[in-house]
Amino acid sequence: MQIIKSLHRCLTLGLCAAFVAGAAAQGVAEGAQASTKLPNVVILATGGTIAGTGATSTTTVGYTAAKVGVERLIEAVPELKKVANVRGEQVFQVASENMTNDLWLKLGRRVNELLAQGDVDGIVITHGTDTLEETAYFLDLVVKSSKPVVLVGAMRPSTAISADGPVNLYNAATLAASKAAVGKGVLVALNDQISAGRDVTKMNTSTADTFRTPDLGFLGYMQDNRAHFYRAPTRKHTLETEFDLAKIDSLPRVDIVYGYANASRVPVDALVGAGAKGIIHAGVGDGSVHKDVMPGLTDARKKGVIIVRSARVGSGIIARNGEANDDELDFVVSDTLNPQKARILLMLALTRTSGTKDIQRMFSTY
Ligand code: ASP
């Protein structure tokens, strides 16, 4: 009976491939109960394409994100019961392009509450892929536990032919349940790969292999129902950071200004006028700033706004005192952080200090 119900669910969700494979392996959903031997993993759902629905099975773009609730996501992958005792919570339900600082604070607090419980061994967060890398880095900096936290999404909606959500969710739960993931910081699991939350970025608008870590590479594979790690993050994270959500009510305004030919200071002045406490400059090349933008940044700095030079190129270290005299200008450089991740670190840094030396130390540490 249970199998018939599950089959019906998979038909309505378009997740039949995962269902058939799982049911064939054994009578998966039948009589499954919480096992005391399996780790306890909480799945926190936040929306995105993994919870998206399209008009037809061939709708892989132009669908609606954030439609399917966490219980249905879990029910659609009965194999989860073989790797962990899973339970779900819907923290919020958004397309991740609509992510906000306040939602991050809410999610971070819930993750810390759960991980402080003795009966929670790991957390999976289902998330839209557009800002997944940002949420991953935010959590990497504020989660106070060495237990695994794994972000997962999908590039195809749940109703699509060859939806990637079910296998990604299965792999993420397997990773979150594994001892190998303990102490590795916040991880991202998609497309059979394990990546570091700090370093991974979305690089293709629509293909399933969109999450990549340019130059540095991903950390390992999800294969044969287990995690295979070949590298580990070296930057400080989670328990080793100085950021404490218990002391943060809100995050300060930090914005990003993009560099390009013929740029002007107009966006910088507008953001300073809007009350930005920090500006990330997504410069060209090694974080270079257009000569017509530079006076805007130096004036902003004189008003107390923290300026971080990052780059739009997608990989590499910004050389301090390279393309600009950062010591003289009292600017900060973003190390290897891309602009959207530099924004997160600067917001958190500003909750502790407005000293540029200290902020530069943080960019060299996390
Ligand atoms: N726009 C969607 C989101 O980020 C895309 C996705 O999840 O893949 O919520």
Distance CA 229, CA 199 (A): 16
**Average pLDDT, integer, range 53-68:** 92
Ligand 1 pocket check for 60: Cβ under 6 Å: no
Kindly report the protein residue whose alpha carbon is nearest to atom 8 of ligand 1. Answer: 129
Q: Identify the band that residue 226 occupies on the pLDDT scale cut at 50, 70 and 90.
A: very high
* CA separation for the pair 172, 178 (Å, rounded): 10
Q: Is any ligand 1 atom within 6 A of the Cβ of residue 141?
A: no
Residue 20 predicted with pLDDT over 80: no
Residue 33: predicted pLDDT: 57
Task: Reply yes or no on whether the pLDDT at 297 is more than 60.
Answer: yes
**Would you say the CB of residue 191 lies under 6 angstroms from ligand 1?**
no
Q: Are strands 149-152 and 122-126 parallel, antiparallel or unpaired?
A: parallel
- In angstroms, what is the span from residue 2 Cα to ligand 1's centroid? 32
207 C-alpha to center of ligand 1: Å?
12
> Does the Cβ of 99 fall within 6 Å of ligand 1?
no
Of all atoms in ligand 1, which is nearest to the CA of residue 154? 8
Condensed to tens digits (0 to 9), the pLDDT of residues 140-185 reads 999 999 999 999 999 999 999 999 999 999 999 999 999 999 999 9
**Spatial distance between the Cα atoms of 124 and 146, rounded to a whole number of angstroms:** 14
Distance CA 32, CA 25 (A): 14
CA end-to-end distance (rounded Å), the chain:
51
Please report the pLDDT score of residue 360 as a whole number.
Answer: 99
pLDDT band at 320 (very low <50, low <70, confident <90, very high): very high
Which ligand 1 atom sits nearest the alpha carbon of residue 95?
Answer: 9
Report which ligand 1 atom has the smallest distance to the Cα of 48: 9
Reply yes or no on whether the pLDDT at 124 is more than 90. Answer: yes
What mean pLDDT is predicted for residues 249-274?
98
How many angstroms is it from 97 CA to the middle of ligand 1?
7
pLDDT, average across residues 340-354? 99
Cβ(88) to ligand 1 under 6 A?
no
Q: Whose CA is nearest to atom 7 of ligand 1?
A: 128
pLDDT at 23: 38
Once rounded to an integer, what is the mean pLDDT over residues 230-239? Answer: 98
Cβ of residue 96 lying under 6 Å from some atom of ligand 1: yes
**Ligand 1 and 65: CB distance under 6 A:** yes
User: Mapping DSSP to helix (H, G, I), strand (E, B) and coil, where does residue 83 land?
Assistant: helix
**Residue 36, pLDDT score:** 76
Residue 112 has pLDDT above 90, yes or no: yes
Q: Is 128 in the pocket of ligand 1 (CB under 6 A)?
A: yes
Cα 189 to Cα 101, 139, 176, 203, 223: the distances in Å are 23, 15, 10, 15, 12
Count of beta carbons in the 10 Å neighbourhood of residue 110:
17
Percentage of residues of the chain with pLDDT beyond 70: 91
Work out the average pLDDT over 89-96: 98
Averaged pLDDT for residues 218-241: 98
Ligand 1: atom nearest CA of 130 is 4
CA of 127 to the centre of ligand 1 (A): 8
Q: What is the mean pLDDT of the chain?
A: 92
> Which of 60, 64, 97 has most ligand 1 atoms within 8 Å of CB, for mutation?
97
> With a 6 A CB cut-off, is 48 part of the ligand 1 pocket?
yes
pLDDT (mean) for 337-363: 98
Predicted confidence (pLDDT) at residue 30 exceeds the cutoff of 90? no
Q: Which atom of ligand 1 is nearest to the CA of 132?
A: 4
Kindly give the distance from the C-alpha atom of residue 261 to the centroid of ligand 1, in angstroms, as a whole number.
30
Query: Residue 249 C-alpha to ligand 1 middle, in angstroms?
Result: 27
* Cβ of residue 51 lying under 6 Å from some atom of ligand 1: no
- Pairwise CA distance, residues 39 & 279, whole Å: 43
Closest residue by Cα to residue 310 from 302, 319, 300:
319
- In degrees and rounded to multiples of 5, residue 343 shows phi and psi of -60, -40
What value does the mean pLDDT take over residues 291-311?
Answer: 99
Rounded-to-5 percentages of helix, strand, coil across the chain: 35, 20, 45
Q: What pTM, to 2 d.p., does this model score?
A: 0.91
- How sure is the predictor about 35, in pLDDT bands with cuts at 50, 70 and 90? confident
Which amino acids are annotated catalytic? 49
